[in-house]
Chain A
């Protein structure tokens, strides 16, 4: 079975600091995409960042970057200069040859002033 594991149910960080959220996945596929989605309280899911498995270079989107370790099947999200608006549930997801996303259980991130 293809699974996604987020081992940190909750994380907290002070405003302006850096935090890293962990994600591991299990697959025998070679081609796939990895995603981090953000779900703010009572708001809809938003795509934060995407990584193609065939690319060695780690993806970056402004304050968000990933550390993709294909051999280790690890895909962590680093948020730099954390802002209060980053408070949300963060979901790691994998997409294989089919179109469906397979999500982890999420990490609740709280940013404190």
Chain B
């Protein structure tokens, strides 16, 4: 079967670091995306990983391990505006996206 798993909710403190994990099982795999979605808004693109390793983009970094079917999104120097849902999505052998249910990140002062 095809499945994307990520925690439902996480809480972190402003200024801290948080890691959001995602595990995937897809029939064929071509890459993994992370999107950010603020409440009541559309998802917006954060990152796309195809190869193993860490990709850094400002305060946000994304990691992929293809052999372990595992990815994480790392957010540093958390700001209140980072309160949002973070969606993990993997591509299957037909290049269609399989989405996780999203991780709601709550930032506390």
Q: Do A and B bind each other?
A: no
Q: Report A's interface with B, CB cutoff 8 A.
A: none
Q: Report B's interface with A, CB cutoff 8 A.
A: none
